[in-house]
A and B are shown apart, each in its own frame.
Chain A
Amino acid sequence: MNLTRRQLLVLLPAAAAAWEYVLAGTPEAAPTYNSTEHWWGMLLDITKCIGCGSCVRACALENDVPDGYFRTWVERYHVSDFHIENPVVDSPDGGKEGFPPSEFTGGKNFFVPKFCNHCVDSPCTQVCPVGATFHTADGVVLVDQNYCVGCRYCIQACPYGCRFFHPTKHVADKCTLCYHRITKGLTTACCESCPTGARQLVDLKNPNDPIHIFLKTHSVQVLKPHLATGAKNFYNGLDGSVR
């Protein structure tokens, strides 16, 4: 190949940029994955959740979540017969190590797993000043941590408290729906570790996904529906007291 000095000068910067990319390590490719063919959501069956905290631990391990911060967590609700609007809620260390025995008798107790709702009309994406938070074509809300300025407006805008400010990266952090796994045909770490199947990753664009039958035959609800965020975490057996 004959290169003139002028051509070489043009090519060198591009080669330098490419080399940096090579050094950084190319993520494992997902050649068969077509993002436009999927629309991800999650089914959470409150009647099945036992509050073991496996999902919280699995998420922290899989995604290197710093201590004291949570991409997912589990809340325990106690609702007495006379105070339906005033539940007593706890979530010690995000439910990571399970829960101590309840001190309440009477009323009802149940667990509610929570994490990013990957809203269709997500307020966090709307407010990000640089577009570092974005929607993927398959319905996942992600943060480009190399672009985030760390203003924390998105954390304020999330009605569900699902975001946090990463203590060492100094950027917004949240659930990615294990995007590195689901694009390779795997399920999320939290779903995989759930011993009762209370969490199930669903693909709403897949006509064969059992979610379609489930949605037809069950009363499901999303969190804070009045905020019209287009949340895609569908809860089965969600009590009206859950916030």
Chain B
Amino acid sequence: MEGFMYPNEVELQWSVLIVLYPFLTGLVAGAFILASLERIFRVEAVKPTYRLALLTALAFLIVAPMPLQLHLGHPERSLEMYLTPHRSSAMAMFGFVYLWYLMAVLLLEIWLDYRKDIVLLSQSTRGLKRFFYRTLTLGSNNISPGALHVDDRAGWVITLIGIPSAFLLHGYVGFIFGSVKANPWWSTPLMPVVFLFSAMVSGIALVMLVYLVTSAVRKAPVDMNCLDTIAKYLFYTFIIDFTLEMLDLIHRIYEADESFRSLDFMMHTRLFVSQIVLQVFLGTITPLLLLAATQLVRFSPSIRKGMYSLAGFCTLIGILAMRWNVVIGGQLFSKSFLGYTTYKMGFATREGLGPAIFLTVLPFAMLYVLVKLFPPWYEPLPPINPSPSAD
């Protein structure tokens, strides 16, 4: 501790788990928005990643509330947010936005898109798998062209609803921070917008990386047209995101209100590594330069793949650092603007680094299972079991 903190401020209230929460939901929103490019905006080039993006969104969405749950003092009371929500609270609306997005948008869209595959798999598999897929058909085995056309139209409408929903999901997360007038580091109307664009950036980068890694593991050729298009969208979105963040920064520096000296001190000391080195240089300028280079110079596919991988990886580090700087950075200074505290992170504690690493890896494990259950590769499905009734 340095200078003066209000006595109750010495202890940080929101830990690394709360850093993780906006990071994970951001990946969800970004992945979904990338998927919707193909569906709504007819960007056919990104079709190879459409299903992969949806499954990625689902895997991360399932894990997203877990850090929150782990953080609560009384997790057994968390259902009260649904049963007796306080309508003026941004946090109370989380449950509803989350449920809407999970149930009404993502699950429905994935189900409609996979319905034909589910029906075929329910006929070609055996045992527990067969039971699983048969349950998922919800009793409808109609995969006639007419029925599939209806699915397609319904899926289109859901995606159309899904885009503002994805915006809402992550814009809302930004609002949770942006509406805290007690904290000048958080309190800015730009916060939801910055969160939204950084979410898109991180989600697109993640799907790009997952596509590259899964292609390498499967030894399948990478669709370079698809990859180039994703990288192009990543680049454009990143420019908007960077512009917004710089606008916020310049505004703060020029206006230099009562909190400025405090925040400026943090940028030069406690947040220097995470903000300047990791977020700005490694996580923003590096990927922007890499992506800009691929737009200007025609590199060979293998070099482009390497550059995209590096850009994607740096982007994810940069966005994670950005979440860290918002959540942890916003608690390192006193609301009296007269002192600073430090964040001591445990490892094997309830809110330590160990659970945080576990919750970061968990969505990938979940994605692995989802990909195994619902192959997103647009390849012919195995032949139908000639005697399904033999089970």
- Point out residues on A near B: beta carbons under 8 Å: 69-70, 73, 75, 86-91, 93-94, 114, 123, 126-131, 147-153, 155-165, 169-171, 227, 243
Task: Kindly state the separation between the CA atoms of A52 and B27 in the bound complex, as whole angstroms.
Answer: 53
Check A127–B90 contact: CB distance below 8 A. yes
Quick check: which of B36-44, B175-183, B241-249 contacts chain A, the rest being far away?
B175-183
Which residues of the other chain, A, contact B91 by a CB distance below 8 angstroms? 127, 129, 151, 153
Q: Is B335 a contact of A159 with CB atoms below 8 Å? A: yes
- Tell me whether chain B's interface is mostly helix, strand or loop, or mixed: loop
A-B contact pairs, 22 of them (CB 8 A): A69-B7, A73-B6, A73-B7, A88-B4, A89-B336, A89-B338, A123-B181, A127-B88, A128-B86, A129-B81, A129-B89, A130-B92, A131-B84, A150-B77, A153-B89, A153-B91, A155-B13, A157-B182, A163-B8, A164-B8, A169-B73, A170-B74
Give chain A nearest CB distance to B80 CB in angstroms.
4
Task: Assess the A160–B338 pair: CB atoms within 8 A.
Answer: no
- A227 CB contacts on chain B under 8 angstroms: 181-182
Tell me whether B81 and A130 are in contact (CB under 8 A): yes
B6 to chain A: which residues have CB within 8 Å?
73, 91, 114, 160-162
| Minimal Cβ-Cβ distance residue in B for A227 | B181
Most buried by B among A70, A123, A149, A160: A149
How would you classify the secondary structure of chain A's contact residues: helix, strand, loop or mixed? loop
Is A69 a contact of B8 with CB atoms below 8 Å?
yes
B181 neighbours in A (Cβ, 8 Å) = 123, 157, 159, 227
Q: Cβ of A160 and Cβ of B80 under 8 Å apart? A: no
A-B contact count (CB 8 A): 122
Given A127-B179, A129-B85, A150-B74, 13 more A-B residue pairs with CB atoms under 8 Å apart are A129-B91, A130-B84, A130-B86, A131-B86, A148-B73, A149-B75, A149-B80, A158-B182, A160-B335, A161-B8, A161-B334, A171-B73, A243-B336
Q: Within 8 Å CB of A86, what residues of B?
A: 338
Q: Which residues of B contact A69 (CB under 8 A)?
A: 7-8
**Given A89-B4, A159-B181, A243-B338, A165 and B89 touching (CB < 8 A)?**
no
Contacts of A89 in B (CB 8 A): 4, 336, 338
Task: Give B76 Cβ to nearest chain A Cβ, in Å.
Answer: 9
Within the complex, the shortest CB–CB distance from B38 to chain A, in Å, comes to: 36
Cβ of B225 under 8 Å from chain A:
no
Question: Judging by beta carbons under 8 Å apart, are A70 and B81 in contact?
Answer: no
Contacts of B71 in A (CB 8 A): 151
Q: Which residue of B lies closest to A88 (CB)?
A: B4
Output the least CB separation between B386 and chain A (Å): 55
CB-defined contacts of B77 to chain A, threshold 8 Å: 130, 147-150
Q: Are B84 and A161 in contact (CB under 8 A)?
A: no
The complex places the Cα of A170 from the Cα of B13 at a distance, in Å, of 12
- Inter-chain CA distance A94–B5, complex, in Å, is 11
Q: What 0/1 readout, one digit per residue, does chain B (312-346) give for beta carbons within 8 Å of chain A? A: 00000000000000000001001111100000000
Kindly provide the distance from the CB of B387 to the nearest chain A CB, expressed in whole angstroms: 54
Q: How far is B217's CA from A27's CA once the two chains are assembled, in angstroms? A: 67
Which residues from chain B sit less than 8 Å from chain A, CB to CB?
4-9, 11, 13-14, 68, 71-75, 77-78, 80-81, 84-86, 88-92, 94, 176, 179-183, 331, 334-338
State the CA gap A157–B183 with chains docked (Å).
8
For the complex, what is the distance from the CA of A123 to the CA of B75, rounded to whole Å? 23
Q: What chain B residues lie within 8 Å of A130 (beta carbons)?
A: 77, 80-81, 84-86, 92
The answer to whether B13 touches A156, judged by C-beta atoms less than 8 angstroms apart, is: yes
> B86 to A70, Cβ gap below 8 A?
no
Minimum CB–CB distance from A171 to chain B (whole Å) comes to 6
- Flag if A171 contacts B7 (CB, 8 Å): no
CA gap between A131 and B85 in the complex, in Å:
7
Q: How far is the CA of A87 from the CA of B337 in the complex (A)?
A: 11
Q: What residue of chain B has the Cβ atom nearest to residue A92's Cβ?
A: B7
Give the CA-CA distance A169 to B68 in the complex, in Å. 18
In the complex, what distance in Å separates the CA atom of A91 from the CA atom of B78?
Answer: 36
For B11, what are the chain A residues with a Cβ–Cβ distance below 8 Å?
A: 164-165
Q: Which residue of A lies closest to B90 (CB)?
A: A127
B136 CB to nearest chain A CB (Å): 33
The interface residues of chain B lying within 8 Å CB-to-CB of A147 are 77, 80
Chain A neighbourhood of B74, CB < 8 A: 148-150, 170-171
Instruction: Report chain A residues within 8 Å CB of B94.
Output: 129
Q: Which of A114, A161, A169, A227 has the most CB of B within 10 A?
A: A161
A127 CB to closest chain B CB (Å) equals 5
Partner of B13, one of A73, A152, A159, A243: A152
**What is the distance, in angstroms, from A167's C-beta to the closest C-beta of chain B?**
9
Task: Please indicate the chain A residues that have their CB under 8 angstroms from the CB of B90 in the complex.
Answer: 127
Contacting pair A129 B180 (CB below 8 A): no
A129 to B13, CA, bound (A): 16
